[in-house]
Amino acid sequence: MAQPLKSKSGSSPSGASVSSRVWLMLALATVGFAVNFWAWALLSPLGPRFKDSLDLSSFQQSLLVAVPVVVGSLGRIPVGALTDRFGGRVMFPIVSAATIVPVLYLGLAGHSSLAALLAGGFFLGIGGTAFAVGVPFVNAWFPPERRGLAIGVFGAGMGGTAISALTTVKLVDANSMSTPFLITAAVLAAYAVVAALVLRDAPGRTVPAEPLTRRLAATLELGITWQASALYAVAFGGYVAFSVYLPTYLKTGYGLTQADAANRMAGFVLLAVAMRPMGGWLSDRIGPVRVLAGSLTAVVAGAVVQSFTLDLAPVGTLAFLTMAAALGAGSGATFAPVAQRTPANQVGSVTGVVGAAGGLGGFLPPLVMGSLYGRYGTYATGLVLLAIVAAAALAYTLTGVRAAAEGGEREPRTGRRREHRAAGTTA
């Protein structure tokens, strides 16, 4: 049974019965996440074009697409804490409106040099912080037994990167370099207005009274923060790395055209997006540990196979699609225990730290891949490294994460909850 409105676990005001209003809030949050991620990913499909037009090295091209990732990742820490304090109703419009500025700069003036692109990409990272707004916002609206699915559905907003992959290059080719940026800025502005008018924070939302620094320090004392950060750095980090670097990988490693590479990257993203709610849904039913273990095993297998750089049809494509599905499901599963085991007034702070870890997990691989290819002319070593990291995460899941889950995580089959001492709440 769901807990009442003011339960220690911070369950949804709607209890076990989820009303249409709750689903509306989830839909609006998901759209906001997608729109901001669309903006966040605008530079990635254009990486090969900038490489040719500005005569960039492989490392410089990797740096160009990675800068928004690292800024958006680190920015999630303060944005998540601010969301705990002010709520998603305030933070969603602010983040969306702030992202308009770098989008317009890049589209109108900031694409003529590497320095200008890096400056614009730095502030474009603001769009990536929307994740840390949406998770605590959605979490407060849903009862504990539905949070895995709800956070998974919200996480599908990462499909905004697919919108960028499918439209950016085509819009540039058909019109001008500024076109996709102007369209994205207009959509961001429209969403900021709608969010300000329609979004509402959950009734009874717990507002922390402690200063920001004290809340962040308390967040770092929770075991779930570190467990989820380690796993999200691999699962979501792997997704981010592929979503920003796959066009370059396919164009350089297989000689595909820019448009073909962008379309294939969009397919990778769409499958990962579709699997993220599935990962959350499965976690509600069989437990996050099992879902994570299966996902990480699939990532190891896919990375090992692709390290041999086999033909795309069919083995290479199957390897990439396997990794896409696994990384999406793993990302959804990671946040199920966060939603279940984190005190209600710390969900934003924990989400910020975990989200930052995931984004940073996606920052390093493109730089490593670019450097390794520039030196050795192959991506095989980078994929072997991915397999090793995923295998380490799998071992951690089956040991430390499983032990913590058995000590405090809600039992998905029976709905019973046991006290989670570290969080000071029921989960």
Question: What SS3 state is found at 221?
Answer: coil
Are 127 and 40 spatial neighbours (Cβ–Cβ below 8 Å)? yes
d(CA 84, CA 207) in angstroms, rounded, equals 6
Q: How confident is the model at residue 13 (pLDDT cuts 50, 70, 90)?
A: very low
Residue 254 CB coordination number (10 Å) = 14
Concatenate the DSSP letters of all residues of 38-85 into one string: HHHTSSGGGHHHHHHHTT--HHHHHHHHHHHHHHHHHTHHHHHHHHHH
Higher pLDDT, residue 369 or 3: 369
Q: In the predicted model, what is the mean pLDDT of the chain?
A: 85
Q: How far apart are CA 335 and CA 278, in angstroms?
A: 12
Can you say whether the dihedral through the CA atoms of 125, 128, 132, 133 is positive or negative? positive
Structure tokens at 290: 């099992």
Question: Distance (Å, rounded) from C-alpha 163 to C-alpha 159?
Answer: 7
Distance, CA of 128 to CA of 32 (rounded, Å): 11
**What does the pLDDT average to over 329-337?**
88
Query: Is the pLDDT confidence value at 415 over 50?
Result: no
For residue 92, what pLDDT band results from cuts at 50, 70 and 90? very high
| pTM score of the predicted model | 0.75
Q: Has residue 269 got a pLDDT over 90?
A: no
- State the amino acid at position 338 in one-letter form: V
pLDDT band at 119 (very low <50, low <70, confident <90, very high): very high
Looking at residue 408, its pLDDT comes to 54
Give the Cα separation of 107 and 119 in Å (integer): 13
In sequence order, which residues have a C-beta less than 8 Å from that of residue 336 and are 6 or more positions away? Answer: 147, 148, 151, 152, 279, 280, 283, 284, 288, 291
- Give tens-digit pLDDT for 274-304: 999 999 889 888 989 999 999 999 999 999 9
Cα–Cα distance measured from residue 87 to residue 90, given in angstroms and rounded to the nearest whole number: 6
Contacts of 204 (CB under 8 A, 6+ apart): 5, 6, 13
- What integer pLDDT is reported at residue 66 of this predicted model? 80
Average pLDDT over residues 323-330: 95
Question: Distance between alpha carbon 170 and the CA centroid of its chain, in Å?
Answer: 25
pLDDT of residue 17: 65
Neighbours of 206 (CB within 10 A): 16
Residues 138-178: pLDDT tens digits? 988 988 778 888 888 998 898 888 898 889 989 999 999 99
Q: How many CB atoms lie within 10 A of CB 97?
A: 17
Among the residues of 221-316, which ranges form H helices?
Answer: 223-254, 258-286, 288-306
The span from the CA of 6 to the CA of 199, in Å, is: 21
Q: How far apart are CA 406 and CA 47, in angstroms?
A: 45
